[in-house]
Structures are given as structure tokens and as C-alpha cells.
Structure 1
Amino acid sequence: MTYLRRPQSLLAFAVFLAAIWTLHATAEMPHLPLKAFVAKDTLDPPREDSDDARDCLTGLVWPPSEFEVSWEAPLTGKGDAIAMFPSPIPSGDSRNDQVSMECYFARDGNGKPITAPAVVVVHESGSKMAVGRVFARGFQTCGVHAFLIHLPYYGNRRSSEQRPDRKRLIDAIPQAVADVRRARDAVAALPYVQDGRVSLQGTSLGGFVSATSACLDSGTDGCGYDNVFILLAGGNLMKVIQSGRKDAAKFRQQLQQSGMTPDQIAAIVNRVEPLRMAHRLDPKRTWLYSADFDQVVPIQNAIDLAQTAALDPSHHVRMLGNHYSGFVYIPFVIPKMAKVIHQR
């Protein structure tokens, strides 16, 4: 394992936040063609010998096809534009089935967009997606185009303030995994993205979704995302839901209030359990960032994922913090990720 040095104060974190918000406030709006772009699914799962992994894949993949990526004006103070594409596993809710991504374009010294690699950012469980936006703006500052995807029933994809009902919650789990995988091909078709170079980064809830999504076809054959960065997540998701504190406890309560039995919850979670397919991750292109004192996603859950994915110790970075204090490492983590993305 690799330990990341703990900051001595919050000064570095404050300076980093000030820098990325200043960049966003002063940069010019990029010129974006009004036309829609045609993208094509490159989903191509390699052969799988495990019966369990094949069964897991069955509920998460779809027949590849062409699809349209369109544009919309950005939300106030939230990126340069909204890119939209259809979900490959629709729920029947027309608003939810139109996937939205906030676009944060990297700029040159004059504030104009540059041709650069990109990263899809998958947000945490909070409805404001604040941490996801910090990562998106941080990547933008480091010269990487960032696309913050709204998971099912978040942000633009929620038609009301009410949370989805029981059936929609069930459907949302595999839909999120599929949407994140299709996002790679949607981003690759957009202007300013260099040679289809797209990486993936997810935090907490977004980390679990990213871990499973990257398994669909991200093997040694080079399919899928160029690099995968998983932060504050791991394996054994059901164990996290059963015993995790804070955010995990809130999610557990929501599931219980929906009327689902423990067996029903376990069956839903098992559909997207990262450990069922983590052996499909390319250990040379996957990095896991964990907090040693995490009470939401205990460190053992992260170790289980690292071992199943056969990650080299240098690719499992451990931070001396918990699920929340670990965010003071962001000024150190994002530049390290961006360096890997630029190096390909």
C-alpha cells in the first residue's frame, strides 16, 4: 500500500478551492457548436470464465448502438454547458432517462478551451453533488476536461423534489452503472476531447458505481476507460449498508422505509456488487484511494476490492483520515490523478 502525506493545516485545501473557483469565474464561455453529435457504444465485454460474473454482466450490458449527444445551457455557476444523451437502460421516466453531464472545459492562458484528455466524474450520494463539482473544477484547473454525470434521479434527472419510489430505486442501480459506461463514449464524441482519451473518477457512492461500471469491459484488451480512480469506496457493498455509519446509515434507513425486506435489499445490491467482477479491472490502469479510519466504508472493504482486483500496493493509496476528513487530501489527490491522465 502507499500512504499519502496528511496536510498540516487546511491552508492548502482553502488555496486549492480558491484557485479552481477563480478560474471558473474569470474564464470565457467556450464556443460550442449547436449541432448534436453522433456517438457510438464501444461496449464489448471480453470473454468471462466465471459463471457468477457472467450472470452479473447479463443485467448490466445492452446491445451497442449509435446515440445522440446534445447540448443545453449550463446551470448557473455549474460548468460551461450541459451535455445530454439517452440512458442505455431506460426506466420509463422520460426526464430520468435523459442523462445529463455538467461540462468543465480545460483552458489555455487566455481562457479558451484546449484540446486535452477528459475524465468522467461520478458524484457522491449528497443531492447537491458538491464534492463531485470540486473534483470536476479541480481537473479543469489541471488541464483535463471534466464531465460531472448526474446519476439517476439526481440533479436534472429528478422531475420533483421527491425521492424515487421503491421500484424506481431498484431500477436506478443497474441504470447508474450502464449510464456511467455509456458516458465514456458520449464524451469521446465531443469537441476538444483528445483522441478519445477518457478516464473515470468516482467518490463514495460514485466510487462503487465506477468500480462496477469499469468492470463491464475495462480489461487488459484496452476497452473502456483509459484510467479508473476510485475514492472512498470498496467491495462488499451489502456489508457497508448493513453496518456503515453516517451516509451508509441514512441509505439503509431509506431502504427500510421503502418497505423492502433485508433479502430484497441484498438481492438489489448484489446486482451491482463490485467484487463479483473486480477481477476484470486492469490493475495497471486502476487506482484506489481509501481512508484508514473510514466509518462509512471501512478500510477492510477497500482492501477486499484491492485484493480482488490484484492492485499493486502502489495503486492502493491510503490516507490517514476518515470518510469526511479525507477530503483535505483533495489538493494532493487531483493533481496526481491528472498527471496519470496526461501521461496516458
Structure 2
Amino acid sequence: MSFRTLAARVLFIVLTIGATEAYAVDLSAAIGESFAAADTLADIQEENADAKACLEGLCWPRGQFAVDVEAAAEEKGDALVRFPSARTTSNPTNDRVAMQWYAARDEEGHAMKAPAIIVVHESGSGMTVGQVMAKGLRNQGFHTFMIQLPGYGLRKVPGEKKNGAEFLIRMKQSIADVRRARDAVAALPLVDADHIAVQGTSLGGFVASDAAALDDGFDSVFLLLSGGDLHDIIHHGHREAAEVRKRLEAAGIQGEALVELINTIEPLRIAHRLDPKRTWLYNGTYDQVVPLENGQALAAAAHLAPEHHVQLSANHYSGVVFIPYVLTHIRSRIDAVEQPKASD
């Protein structure tokens, strides 16, 4: 598939998904308000020594925090949600998490109570796929919250350059922020806290898988173009993976030092903690950034049944043409998870 053809298809998908966004949902009752929240991160219960060591490096002291709702920038959702990062750095701009809230709405266009999905974006600076996923899932009837990861969007410091040394620090912060986002969202009005899911794409998929494996915080987990064995992906992967490798090498992080650092966030160490009945993984069979075998490694570690590991006839970029399918599949899987709850 040529770049021009792929770009045209991406544009078509964006326009199709955004077609129902001719107006913003009125969240004026929440904008300007602050809501009290608290971490519900569970105590570590893990018999495997290696997994326990990994978890101890990813968790943080639980506490209470405020969730503030602000007016959204144009075409950036219906409201902006801010809260303090669970793992702080020396940068206050980076340490204040931002989420774009796309509100679920009824047939008349009014905001309504509905389940929520935390959407974790890809590595691109524009977070384009993350925003497409957030809008598309909102159109499926969910409140969606696209979280801006450290160094992105409102958390980016002007003039700051990305370097390899900060990559792993920010990955740990991202994992903690996504898990805390679950508790921030649960404190907001109109959110049905009985079902809060997480969806991540590419970089966001790695973050989401680790955040979901910390405990049983998320009711459903959807990982798109993601996998395991990060060292293998960074060492052999193309495009984004190769860029990460170059930044790490430029920072002097390579060889055993690279293996040791990446191991601290390796999804395969804790993937067995994901609930295989409530986790779905989507991989491209021709993906050269996150190869299929890396997806298969994660699926095996998480004990996913074949129907929970969806293989798409695409590479890392042409996979965007399957976004409409993935959106409806997520809707149907959450409905299926919710049915047993309703009969309890």
C-alpha cells in the first residue's frame, strides 16, 4: 500500500468517525469544578518473585488527589480533565496529567451516564490515532478520556528535546498515570464506574498492558498493535522502535545496561496478571514495528484464547483501516462482559 493511499484511507476514517461531532456536548455543570479522588491501587499479591519485583518498581504510595475539569481547547474534546501525576519528576508542567474528555451522549445530543474508557495514544507527537480512537469509542456510547502521556500535549515543555535517558523514566510515569486515571475518571459525574476500561495503541498498548497488570483496576483491556519482549522490539523493530533505539544509544544506554533498564517495564514479566477473559489483543500479521511474534509472546504470557488475540492482515500503519472494526468489536466485547454482571 502506497503512502498516498494509506494517507487517503486515514483521512477517510478520521472524517467518518468525526462526522457525528458537529457540536460539543454541554458539560458546563462539571467545568470549573474539582472532584475528590483517591488511589484504589491494590496491595501487591504476587507469588512469582520476578513479577513481584517488577510490580514493586512500578507502584507508588497511594493517596488522595483532586480531579479538576476545565474547558477544552477547540476540537480537543468536550472538556479537559487535570490531576497530579502519581509519580512526579522535577517538572511541574509534565507532572500535571491532562485528559481530553469526549462525553457519551444520547440520541438528542445530551451528555448521559455511561461506562468509560481510558484511551492511551501512540508515540506520534500529534496523538492522532489516540484521538481517533477516543472519538470513535465515544460514538460507540462510552465516555472516553484520551490521556496525554508525559512529554506530550499540555505536558510538553517548549524547547525540550526527547532523549533516551528520559524514555524509561517517562514510561514508568505513564504506567502510573494511566492506572491513576482510572480513579480520576471514577470520581467524575456521568461516569458509570461499574465499568471502566483501558485501550492503548502501539506505545500506548505497552503502557496500558502494564497499567492493567498492576491490579484488577480495569474491567476490560484492549491492546492494539502491541506485544511483549521490549528489548527485542527496540533492538530489531523498524521506524518508531528504531528511533527509540537510537535515542537510547545516544544516551549511552546499550548492551546489558539497556536490557536491565527495559526489564523494569517489560510486560511479559507481569502479563500473567491480566484477566484473559477480559483482555483482547489486536496485531498486524505484517507489522515490522511490533512484529506478530511479539504479540504472540504477550498473548501466551497472558493466557489469551485465540478469539482474544485478533490478527489483522496489516502492518503497523495500514492497520488503521481496521479501526472501524476494532471500535465495534470493543463495543460488543464490553457488552458481553457486562451481561453476566447484570444477571448477578
TM-score (norm 2): 0.91
Residue type matched to 2:331 in 1? A
Distance 2:87 2:304 in 1: 30
Measured after TM superposition, the shift of residue 164 of structure 1 is: 4.0
Determine if the alignment matches structure 1 residue 264 to structure 2 residue 260: no
Match 1:254 to one of 239, 247, 252: 247
Please, which of 74, 80, 95 is the counterpart of residue 93 of structure 2? 95
Secondary structure of the structure 2 residue equivalent to 1:255: helix
Q: Give 1:28 deviation, angstroms.
A: 3.8
Deviation at 1:192, TM superposition (A): 1.1
Paired amino acid for 2:260: A
Shift of 1:342: 3.7
Residues 182-193 of structure 1 mapped to structure 2, 5 A cutoff: 182-193=180-191
Secondary structure, aligned partner of 1:26: coil
Whole-angstrom CA distance in 2 between matches of 1:236 and 1:85? 31
Q: Distance in 1 between matches of 2:102 and 2:189?
A: 12
**For 1:42, what is the secondary structure of its paired residue?**
coil
How far is the alpha carbon of 1:294 from its aligned partner?
A: 0.5
State the Cα deviation string for residues 240-295 of structure 1 (Å, max 9, x = none): 00000111111111222223233332222111100000111110010000111110
Residue-by-residue CA offset, 1:157-185 (whole Å, 9 max, x unaligned): 11214224555334212111111111111
Rate the CA distance shift 1:18–1:314 in 2: closer, same or farther, 3 A: same
What residue in structure 2 maps to residue 29 of structure 1? 26
Aligned counterpart in structure 2 of residue 297 of structure 1, from 275, 290, 299: 290
- Residue 18 in 1 paired to residue 15 in 2? yes
Q: For 1:35-50, list aligned pairs within 5 A.
A: 35-50=33-48
Q: Which runs of 5+ in 1 are unaligned?
A: 1-8, 219-223
Report the CA distance between 1:144 and its aligned residue: 0.6
Instruction: Kindly state the Cα deviation for residue 304 of structure 1 after the two structures are TM-superposed.
Output: 0.6
Q: Which has the higher contact order (CA 8 A, sep 6+)?
A: 1
Task: Measure, in 2, the Cα distance between the counterparts of 1:266 and 1:215.
Answer: 21
The residue type equivalent to 1:230 in the other structure is L
Question: Does the CA-based 8 Å contact 2:272-2:301 persist in structure 1?
Answer: yes
Counterpart for residue 172 of structure 1: 170
5+ residue gaps, structure 2, are: 1-5, 339-344
SS in 2 for 1:68: strand
Distance 2:243 2:233 in 1: 12
Q: 1:236: which partner in 2?
A: 229
Spell out the pairing of 1:299-338 with structure 2 (5 A cutoff): 299-338=292-331
Which residue is 1:54 aligned to? 52
Distance 1:10 1:87 in 2: 35
1:278 aligns with 2:271: yes
CA shift, 1:194, in A, is 1.0
In structure 2, do the counterparts of structure 1 residues 274 and 29 end up closer, same or farther at CA, with 3 Å as the change threshold? same
1:339 aligns with 2:332: yes
Distance 1:261-1:330 versus aligned 2 partners, 3 A rule: same
Give the conservation status (yes or no) of the 8 Å contact 1:38–1:69.
yes
CA apart distance, 1:107: 1.1
Residue 32 of structure 1 deviates from its aligned partner by 3.4
Question: 1: CA distance between counterparts of 2:245 and 2:29?
Answer: 42
CA–CA separation in structure 2 for the residues paired with 1:161 and 1:134: 27
The percent identity for this pair of structures is: 44
Q: SS at the partner of 1:214?
A: helix
How far residue 16 of structure 1 moved from its aligned partner, in angstroms, is: 4.8
Q: State the alpha-carbon separation in 1 of the partners of residues 255 and 150 from structure 2.
A: 23
What is the rounded CA distance, in whole Å, between the counterparts of 1:95 and 1:210 in structure 2?
22
- Describe the shift of the 1:19–1:110 C-alpha distance in structure 2 as closer, same or farther (beyond 3 A): farther
TM-score (structure 1 length as normaliser): 0.91
CA distance in 1, matches of 2:78, 2:317: 28
The aligned amino acid for 2:47 is: D
Query: Secondary structure, in 3 states, of the residue corresponding to 1:331?
Result: helix
3-state secondary structure, aligned to 2:67: strand
Q: Tell me which residue corresponds to 1:3.
A: none
Query: How many residues are matched?
Result: 331
Corresponding residue number in structure 2 for 1:221? none
- Greater CA deviation, 103-112 or 10-19? 10-19
CA contact (8 A) 2:163 2:248 kept: no
Verify the 8 A CA contact 1:153 1:163 in the aligned structure 2: no
Q: Is the Cα–Cα contact under 8 Å of residues 36 and 71 in structure 1 kept in the other structure?
A: yes
The answer for the alignment partner of 1:194 in structure 2 is 192
| Cα displacement (A) at 1:149 | 0.4
2:3 aligns with none
> Any conservation in 1 of the 2:120–2:148 contact (CA below 8 Å)?
yes
Asked whether the equivalents of residues 287 and 317 of structure 1 are also in contact (C-alpha less than 8 Å), the reply is: yes
Question: Which residue identity is paired with 1:100?
Answer: A
> Aligned Cα RMSD in Å?
1.9
TM-aligned CA deviation for residue 71 of structure 1? 1.7
Q: Tell me, yes or no, if the aligned pair for 1:27 and 1:112 is still in contact at 8 Å.
A: no
The alpha-carbon deviation at position 188 of structure 1 amounts to 0.9
Asked whether the equivalents of residues 279 and 304 of structure 2 are also in contact (C-alpha less than 8 Å), the reply is yes
CA–CA distance in 2 between the matches of 1:325 and 1:211?
23
Q: How does 1:74-113 map to 2 (within 5 A)?
A: 74-113=72-111
What SS class does the counterpart of residue 314 from structure 1 fall into?
helix
Output the amino acid matched with 1:24: E
